Amino acid sequence: MQFLLTICFLLASPILWAHGVHGTGAGRQYQKPDTDFWSIFIPSTEAAITHMDIDEKLGLRIIDSDGLPNHKTGAFPNAHNPNHIEEQYYQFKVPLHPQKAAHTTPLNHADFGVALNGVPFDPESAEFWNGNRDWNEEAMSPDVNLGLDSNNAHVQPTGAYHYHGMPIGFVDKYNYRSTPVMIGYAADGFPIYTPYAQDVNGQKKTLRSSYRLKTGQRPSPPNGPGGTYNGLYSNDYEFVSGAGDLDQCNGRTAVTADFPQGIYYYVITQDFPFIPRCWVGTADASFRKGPPTGNRRGIGPQGPGMNGPMGMRPPPPRRF
**pLDDT given at position 167:** 97
C-alpha to C-alpha distance for 32 and 241, rounded to whole angstroms:
42
Task: Express as a percent the part of the chain with pLDDT over 90.
Answer: 69
pLDDT of 59 > 50? The answer is: yes
**pLDDT given at position 29:** 54
Any idea which of 143-147, 196-200, 242-246 has the lowest mean pLDDT?
Answer: 196-200
Cis peptide before 77 (omega within 30 of 0): yes
Q: What is the pTM of this model?
A: 0.79
Length of the chain: 320
Q: Which pLDDT band, with edges at 50, 70 and 90, does 50 fall under? A: low
294: left (phi over 0), alpha (psi -120 to 50) or beta: left
pLDDT of 302 > 90? The answer is: no
Section 148-157 average pLDDT: 98
C-alpha to C-alpha distance for 296 and 289, rounded to whole angstroms:
8
Any idea which of 18-22, 127-131, 170-174 has the lowest mean pLDDT?
Answer: 18-22
171 burial level (CB within 10 Å; 0-12, 13-18, 19+): buried
Section 50-79 average pLDDT: 94
Helix or strand run (H / E) with residue 239: strand 237-239
**pLDDT given at position 41:** 32
**pLDDT given at position 159:** 97
Mean pLDDT of the chain: 81
**pLDDT given at position 290:** 64
Task: Express as a percent the part of the chain with pLDDT over 70.
Answer: 75
Section 154-175 average pLDDT: 95
C-alpha to C-alpha distance for 85 and 106, rounded to whole angstroms:
28
Contacts of 152 (CB under 8 A, 6+ apart): 140, 163, 164, 165, 166, 167, 168, 274
Any idea which of 68-72, 146-150, 173-177, 310-314 has the lowest mean pLDDT?
Answer: 310-314
pLDDT of 10 > 80? The answer is: no
Instruction: Fill in the DSSP letter of residue 241.
Output: T
Give tens-digit pLDDT for 110-127. Answer: 999 999 999 999 999 999
Instruction: Fill in the DSSP letter of residue 311.
Output: B
Q: Which pLDDT band, with edges at 50, 70 and 90, does 176 fall under? A: confident
Give tens-digit pLDDT for 260-296. Answer: 999 999 999 999 999 999 999 999 999 998 643 333 3
Give tens-digit pLDDT for 136-147. Answer: 999 999 999 999
pLDDT of 192 > 70? The answer is: yes
Between 315 and 215, residue with greater pLDDT: 215
Neighbours of 186 (CB within 10 A): 28
Asked if 29 and 22 count as a contact pair (C-beta separation under 8 A), the reply is yes
Which of 300, 267, 86, 120 is closest to 181 using CA atoms?
267
